[in-house]
Structure 1
Amino acid sequence: MQRRRTGLVAVMSALGMTATLGGCGSSDGSADVTLELVAADYGDSKANSSQQYWDTLVKGYETAHPGVRVEVSVYPWTDVDRKVGERVAAGRAPDLAQIGAYADYAAKGELYSADQVLSIPVQADFASQLTEAGQMNRVQYGMPFAASTRLLFYNKKLFADAGLTPPQSWSELAADAAVLKARGVKFPYALPLGPEEAQAETMQWLLSGGDSYTDDVGTYHLDSTQNVDTLTWLKNELVGKGLTGPVAPAKLNRADAFAAFARGEVGMLNGHPTLMKAAADKGVKFGMVPMPGVDGRAKATMGVADWMMAFKHNGHREQIGSFLDYVYSEKNVLAFSHEYDLLPVTTSASQAMSADTKDKDLVPFLDELPTSQLYPVGKTSWASVSADIKRDIGKAVAPDGSPSGVLGTLQRTATIRDSKD
């Protein structure tokens, strides 16, 4: 999930909840199997690399299941999807992959469905909207692994010095940004529409304007009237009035915007949980509120999920199921979420997090999850459409840009790509 740095449930088989999947190694030790997992790295240094998380988890699993070995290869987000793709193309698919998208592999019949590998209690424990996002043709192939939502972060000192309160509508956000600009704040509102993660910032704004990338039946409608109105407002009321800072939105990446916030140079921006630590480490006092909508709080926020998928290639269905039941145990989901400031993907771990006072900083993000909307990841065309948005959406709010023109072009291309699904 770009993402970056930013959970999981007790061994269901050990609790006797899945007699079939729990029997991964026979009592005489004859069912020795090695599972291969390729996973993404959510850490930002060697000290908190995801490899350490997986090493600890695997050690616990192998101790309880002597008939199964698990080998985990961790790669940076810049490489992991490609690594899995290359292995699959070469006929060496791993048993499991924890990456950003599942749809291409599901469409080609290369994946087990979730109900083929998970015990019923584990599959039923996923948050409902994440389960739906993991489905293709109403069958779940993508198993959510990590999730996050977005809130509007604001610099408390800058707001207090200016006598401002957090905005609850677009007009209030623009008015606050104008005051911050007049006081010399470098980025009154940071609008990262650069190629790193423009599809995320765009979707958050489209949702706050009352629409999204697709309609209720999953058909692309990027150039809807509401979406055009949203980008037109951004172009005229924020970018055009110089309220988004000295870097053109098309050239501002999310990582750079986050770094600027941590330096105290940003008044407001959309952020996910990992920004909390980055800002706190630099001594920036910040607040978080739901994203404003046109006339009040937005009806939905953006959610992001990364995915676990199980490949059929090696035929290790039972062993994969037993391992995944362990991966999605409450203690393991929570351990991952705590390590990388991400949200649990299971109801049981979410309830535990909500009840733990040590997790109070994550609760506002957790509260947004039930009404969040995710990218249309069940469409095989989404990866290409997302790349188109990253490349072109910043042009829509440029001084000479045309929101209707850019969105219209994106819509025509998306329709063509979708027809090839």
Structure 2
Amino acid sequence: MQRRRFLGLTAAGAATAALAPALTACGSDGGSGSKTLRVVAADYGDSEANNSQKYWDELARAFEAENKGVKVDVSVLSWTEVDKKVAEMVAAGKAPDVAQIGAYADFAAAGKLYSADQLLTIPTQADIIAQIARAGEVARVQYGLPFVSSTRLLFYNKTLFAKAGIAKAPESWDELQAAAKKLQTAGVKVPYGLPLGPEEAPAETMMWMLSGGSGYTDHNGTYTINSDENVKTFEWLRDELVGKGLTGSLDPSRTNRQNVFDAFCRGEVGMLNGHPTLMKQAEAKGIKYGTAPLPGKGGKAKSTMGVADWIMAFKANGHREEIGRFLDFVYTTKNVLGFTNQYDLLPVTTSASEQMAGDTRKKHLKPFLDQLENAEFYPVDKTSWAKVSKAFKEKIGSVVVKGGDPASVLGEIQREADATELAGHAK
């Protein structure tokens, strides 16, 4: 995913190769009057030891024990190829019954998916956090069911802050700049880590847009890429952060997120925007860190970026009733927490979020949970988003270097986005 990479996760390639042949089959009847649901899911593990296949296999067996006559066959693939594999299956007329992948909008627009209200019971639908559920809508109908989520906070190195004489995390851009200057004076290699390289440029871009009072779209879902606020945000980054050397030795236009994360874990970065998995990476390297809400133009940002991965159900095999029962089972509090606790991700249901918030073992995730209700998500409901995201990966880094032109580049991407949207509506 881009989406899964935003959650900072990789996959076990060996498992992918072993499981790939299972994707040739579509949903089918399993004989003796039973039905088989074919599920394709993404791997959130970073080794064989924590491969996601174990979770899905245990969940499938538990579901089968309670639902005689329904079998569940799950194939777990790496994030590097799961979206592509599902698209190929659908194109070949062999769609799975359920896919847990990164994007749903193209399939929804093509009429291939069941809507949420065709699948889930009312209590299950009501339990899904409304802000995330809305991110799964196309034309006000929910087709994407959120599976896991993540939010972003400002991370800072407590040791470097103490060395530079900084008493607390910055809450505004002016305070962030002042802190970065102190870190620079104290000899910190990278006062502020700004990854606008191709790996995760759309994420860093969105966080800065939100902190500047705008975003990718307005409340009506219309692209606002070249809004005055967004242009001013990137002019500030160009002139007041990058232009003054406060991003240090890393070139923001070419720096990827993992490069900055790695440098933070080496004790070289004073501040950066990050997600929950950075905590484990930093702790493993003995980094003393703190987290805080994103600084905004005139104070704390009103919202942060949220990321979700999605579950969708395909109509092709006609197993609506069985899929609905299976997904109701997936969204029970026990099963939601069984997955999110394993990978330090955030639940997408209110009941699981409340339980996690009360779990002292998960208190490190509470600041991220607190941000979830007001988080803003990528406009993944737009079939144009994939192309727009690609444009940001290719172009946004150029606006913060010397001579960069935010108004021109954002205007160019805005025109591309509008044209892509228009072409999609004309089909």
| TM-score (ref. length: structure 2) | 0.92
1:321-349 Cα offsets, whole Å, 9 max, x none, are: 11111111101111111111111000110
User: Which deviates the most, 177-186 or 123-132?
Assistant: 177-186
Residue deviations 1:371-400 (CA, integer Å, cap 9, x gap): 111011111111111111111110111112
Aligned pairs (5 A) from 1:352-371: 352-371=355-374
Match for 2:343: what amino acid? Y
2:69 pairs with one of 55, 61, 67: 67
**2:343 corresponds to which of 310, 318, 340:** 340
String of CA shifts for 1:131-175, please: whole Å, max 9, x gaps.
Answer: 111111111100000101000000011111211021011011111
> 2-side partners of 1:420 and 1:186: how far apart?
46
**Whole-Å separation in 2 of the counterparts to 1:291 and 1:105:** 34
The 2-side partners of 1:222 and 1:5 are apart by 25
Match for 2:49: what amino acid?
A
Partner Cα separation in structure 2 for residue 376 and residue 362 of structure 1: 25
| Residue 13 (structure 2) aligns with | none
2: CA distance, partners of 1:332 / 1:185: 44
Answer yes or no: is the 8 Å Cα contact 1:209–1:230 preserved in 2.
yes
Q: CA deviation at 1:3?
A: 2.8
AA aligned opposite 2:256 = N
2:187 corresponds to 1:184:
yes
| 1:12 match | none
Tell me if 1:228 matches 2:231.
yes
How do residues 203-214 of structure 1 correspond to structure 2 at under 5 angstroms? 203-214=206-217
Q: Is the 8 A contact 1:185 1:265 kept in 2?
A: yes
The yes-or-no answer on 1:396 pairing with 2:425 is no
Q: Distance in 2 between matches of 1:372 and 1:228?
A: 22
Map Cα deviations across residues 83-118 of structure 1 (whole Å, 9 max, x no partner): 111111111111111111111000000000011111
* Matches of 1:238 and 1:67, distance apart in 2: 61
CA offset at residue 66 of structure 1?
Answer: 3.2
Corresponding residue SS for 2:377: coil
Q: Which runs of 4+ in 1 moved over 4 A?
A: none
Q: 2:7–2:307: 8 Å Cα contact kept in structure 1?
A: no
Over residues 188-230 of structure 1, what are the superposed CA-to-partner deviations in whole Å (9 max), with x where a residue is unaligned? 1100111111100000000000000111211111000000000
Distance in 2 between residues matched to 1:358 and 1:262, nearest whole Å:
23
CA distance in 2, matches of 1:53, 1:186: 41
Structure 1's unaligned 5+ residue stretches are: 7-28
CA positional deviation for 1:75:
1.6
Q: Is the 8 A contact 1:34 1:70 kept in 2?
A: yes
- Decide whether the 8 Å contact of 1:5 with 1:44 is kept in 2: no
Q: Which residue, 230, 233, 240 being the options, matches 1:237?
A: 240
1:193 corresponds in structure 2 to 196
> Following the alignment from structure 1 to structure 2, what is the Cα–Cα distance between the partners of residues 351 and 149?
16
Query: Which of these residues, 276, 294, 299, is aligned with residue 297 of structure 2?
Result: 294
Query: Is the contact made by 2:199 and 2:257 (CA closer than 8 Å) also made in structure 1?
Result: yes
Letter in 2 for 1:96: V
Match of 2:334 in 1: 331
CA distance in 2, matches of 1:390, 1:37: 31
| Length-normalised TM-score, structure 1 | 0.93
Deviation at 1:187, TM superposition (A): 1.3
What is the percent sequence identity of the aligned residues?
Answer: 61
Match of 2:132 in 1: 130
Are residues 1:155 and 2:154 paired?
no
Given the alignment of the two structures, is residue 4 of structure 1 paired with residue 7 of structure 2, yes or no? yes
1:265 aligns with 2:268: yes
Q: Identify the residue that residue 285 of structure 2 maps to in structure 1.
A: 282
State which of 311, 314, 333 in structure 2 corresponds to 1:311.
314
CA distance in 2, matches of 1:298, 1:120: 34
Could you list the runs of 5+ residues in structure 2 that have no partner in the other structure?
A: 10-30
Aligned to 2:375: 372
Structure 2 partner of 1:9 = none
- Say whether the 8 Å CA contact 1:5–1:341 is kept in structure 2: no
Q: Aligned to 2:177, which of 157, 174, 178?
A: 174
SS at match of 1:250: coil
> 3-state SS of the aligned residue for 2:273?
strand
Report the 3-state secondary structure (helix = DSSP H, G, I; strand = E; otherwise coil) of the residue aligned with 1:314: coil
The 3-state SS of whatever aligns with 2:373 is helix
8 A contact 1:148–1:304 mirrored in 2: yes
